[in-house]
Amino acid sequence: WVKGEVETAIAFLQESARRDPDVAIPYANLATIFGETGRLSEAESVAKKLLTLEPQFSARAWCANNPFRDPGRRKREEAALVRAGLPA
C-alpha cells in the first residue's frame, strides 16, 4: 500500500484478518487504508472490529509505534485512523 498497490494490500490484509480474526494489526492497517482513500463505510466497519479487539486503541499511540520515520507520514496515518472512526 505504501508503494501505491492499495487493492493488493487490502486483499492481503482482508485475508490475514479472515485467517486470524483475533489479531488487531490487519484491522488497524485496513482502517488506515480505508480512511486514507475515503472509503469511510468500510473504514468504520473495520474500526468497530478493531475496537472490540483493542478497546484502548488510539490512533496517536498506534502511529507513535509504526516503523515510518517520516513525521508527515505518521500524521497522515493518524488522521486516516481518526477519519475511520477511531479515537485520536
Q: Read off the pLDDT of residues 3-29 as tens digits, 9 standing for 90 and up.
A: 789 999 999 999 999 999 999 999 999
The pLDDT-based confidence of 78 (bands split at 50, 70, 90) is: very high
State the pTM of this model. 0.92
Spatial distance between the Cα atoms of 73 and 88, rounded to a whole number of angstroms: 16
Query: Stretch 75-80: mean pLDDT, rounded?
Result: 95
User: What pLDDT is recorded for position 41?
Assistant: 96
User: What pLDDT is recorded for position 76?
Assistant: 93
Q: Which three cell numbers stand for residue 72?
A: 508527515
